[in-house]
Amino acid sequence: MRSENLISPTSKRAVLCIGLAVLMGGLLLFTYLSYFNRHWADDWCYNADFRNKGFIETVRGYAYDTTYTPSRYSVTIFAGLLQAFDVVGTQWMTPVTIWFWTVGLLWLFWNIARLAGFQPATPLVAFFSALIVYFSIYLTPHLYQSLYWRTGHLTYTTPLVLMTWVFVLITRQGLLGNPSNWETALAGMLALLAGGCSEAAATVLVSSLALYVGVTMIYRQQAWAQKTFWIAVVSLFFGVVAMCLLVFSPTTQIRKGRYGDPAPLSELPRLIFNYTYAFFVLSVKDYHHFLIALISALVGFVYPVTAERSFKFDRYVLLGVIVVMITILLVAASLTPSIYVEKGLPATRTMIIPRFIAAFGFALGGGIVGAALREVATSATLQMGALALLLISFTFPIYTIINATKWVGIYAQRTQVWDIREAAIHDALFAGSPRVTVEAIDGLPVGGIRDFDPPGKTGYWITRCAGDYYGIKLDVVLP
C-alpha cells in the first residue's frame, strides 16, 4: 500500500487550499494597491496626444514622435484604450493584468499536463499559478513602475500576460480534435501585441516560440506536435514581425545616437553570459527563490498527479534539466537588448520579465524535484512530515504579504497629494485662469519616478505634456 493512502485526502486538500488562500490573499493585496493608481511621467504625454491629436494620429507618432516611446506601438494602443476611461482605466489596468495572468497560467499548466498524459487537480495547478504570479510581483525590483505606473506596466508586465495566453492557445490546439483557425489568428494577433510592448518582451517571445517550434519538429510524429505546429509557427512569425517593427522603427533609428555604439557582436556572447550568470548567482543566493523551490518541491512530493502512462524518476530528472536550460536561455534573452544597446542590465522596472521567468523556473523545477523524490521515497513518515513542513512553509508567503502592506500607506499618501493637485488644476480651469501653481510630488518613496519639474530641470518636458493635457500653464514648485 502506497504511503499517500495513509494520509487523509481531506487533510491534504485542506493544506493545499490553505496555501492557495494565502497566495490569493497576496494577490488581492496587490490588486487593492491599484486603487491608488494615477497618471505619472510619460503618461502625461500619451494623455495629451490622445486628447489633442486623437487616437489614430497618436499611433502614427510611431514614425516621428521621439518625445516618449511611440516606437513601442502596443503601449500606445493600450494606453489609448485605457485613456478613454481616464484614471479609472489606469486603476483597472492592474487587477485585469493580475487575474488574467493567474488564470492564464492555470490554463496553460492544465493544457501542458493533459498533453503530457497527466490528470492534474484544479487546486494544484491553481496553487502553482498563484505562487508564480505572486512572487513575480513581490520580487520585482521596482514594484511601482512595473505594476502601478501605466507606461511601465504596459511596457514590461502586460506582455507577460499576453505571452502566457499565446501559449494557452498554442497548447489548447493539441487537445482539440481539429485545430481552430480563429484561435490561430488570435494567437498571432496576441504575439504581435506582446512583442510590440518592448524589446525585452519581443526577444523572450521570439525565443520561447522558436524553442517550441523546434520541439514540435523533433516530436513531429506525435499528435500534439502536429496539431500545435502551425499555430506556433504563425505566432512566431508575428513575434518576429513585432521585433522588426521595434528595431526598425523610424523613431528607434532617430534615438540610436543617444545610446552611442552598441556592444560589438564579438563581445556580445561574453557579456550575455556574464550578466545572466550574475543574475542567477544572485537569485540562488536570495533565500526567496530557495523557498519558492522548497515549497514547490514539497507540493510535488505530497500531491501525486494521476498519469495515463508511467513517468519514472529518470524522466523527471530529464524534465528538470530541460526546465533549467530553458529558464537560463529565456532570462538571457530578456537581458540581451539592454546588454547590446546599453552594455549593461536593463532598468529595474524591466526586471519583472526575468523575475517572472526565474520564479516560473524555480517553482516548476522544485515541483519536478519533489515528484521525482516521490518515486524513490514512499515512506509514510516522510509523506506526513513533508505535509507538516509544507503547512509550516506557508508562513513565508504570509511574512512577505505582511511586509508588502507597507506600500499601502505610501501609495495612499501620494495619491491624496495627487488628488489635491488635480482638484486645484480643475478649479483654476473652471475659474478661467491661464495658469496655476502646483507642487511637484516627491517620487523618492516609490523609487524616484519623475513628476512635474520647474523649467530648466530634467523632466520639464513631462510638465509641458501635462500642461498640454489640461490646457493650462503649470507653474511648478518643489516640495
Selection from 123, 134, 138, 136 nearest residue 20 by Cα: 123
Q: Report the distance separating Cα 68 and Cα 78, nearest Å.
A: 15
Q: What is the mean pLDDT of residues 379-404?
A: 92
Residue 390 confidence (pLDDT) above 50: yes
Query: Looking at residue 310, what is its pLDDT?
Result: 58
Residue 5 confidence (pLDDT) above 70: no
Q: Is 374 helix (H, G, I), strand (E, B) or coil?
A: helix
Residue 311 confidence (pLDDT) above 70: no
Longest dimension (CA), the chain: 83
Q: What is the mean pLDDT of residues 390-411?
A: 96
Average model confidence (pLDDT) across the chain: 91
Q: Using alpha carbons only, what angle is made at residue 90 by residues 88 and 93, rounded to the nearest 5 degrees? A: 110
* Model pLDDT for residues 112-133, shown as the tens digit of each residue: 988 888 777 888 999 999 999 9
List the grid coordinates of 128: 502553482
Contact 442/473 with Cβ under 8 angstroms? no
User: pLDDT-derived band of residue 244, with 50, 70 and 90 as boundaries?
Assistant: very high
Query: Looking at residue 444, what is its pLDDT?
Result: 87
User: pLDDT-derived band of residue 74, with 50, 70 and 90 as boundaries?
Assistant: very high
User: pLDDT-derived band of residue 172, with 50, 70 and 90 as boundaries?
Assistant: very high
Distance of CA 425 to the CA centre of its chain: 35
User: pLDDT-derived band of residue 4, with 50, 70 and 90 as boundaries?
Assistant: very low
318-323: list long-range contacts, CB under 8 Å, 24+ apart.
Answer: 319/368, 320/365, 320/368, 320/369, 320/372, 323/361, 323/364, 323/365, 323/368
User: pLDDT-derived band of residue 325, with 50, 70 and 90 as boundaries?
Assistant: very high
Instruction: Please state the pTM of the whole predicted model.
Output: 0.94
* Model pLDDT for residues 102-115, shown as the tens digit of each residue: 999 999 999 998 88
Query: Looking at residue 416, what is its pLDDT?
Result: 95
User: pLDDT-derived band of residue 187, with 50, 70 and 90 as boundaries?
Assistant: very high
Query: Looking at residue 21, what is its pLDDT?
Result: 97
Residue 399 confidence (pLDDT) above 60: yes
Query: Looking at residue 454, what is its pLDDT?
Result: 87
Query: Looking at residue 286, what is its pLDDT?
Result: 84
Q: What is the mean pLDDT of residues 85-91?
A: 95
Query: Looking at residue 118, what is its pLDDT?
Result: 79
User: pLDDT-derived band of residue 6, with 50, 70 and 90 as boundaries?
Assistant: low
Residues 6+ apart with CB under 8 A from 153: 93, 94, 97, 146, 147
Q: Report the distance separating Cα 173 and Cα 150, nearest Å.
A: 33
The strand pairing partners of 332, in sequence order, are: none
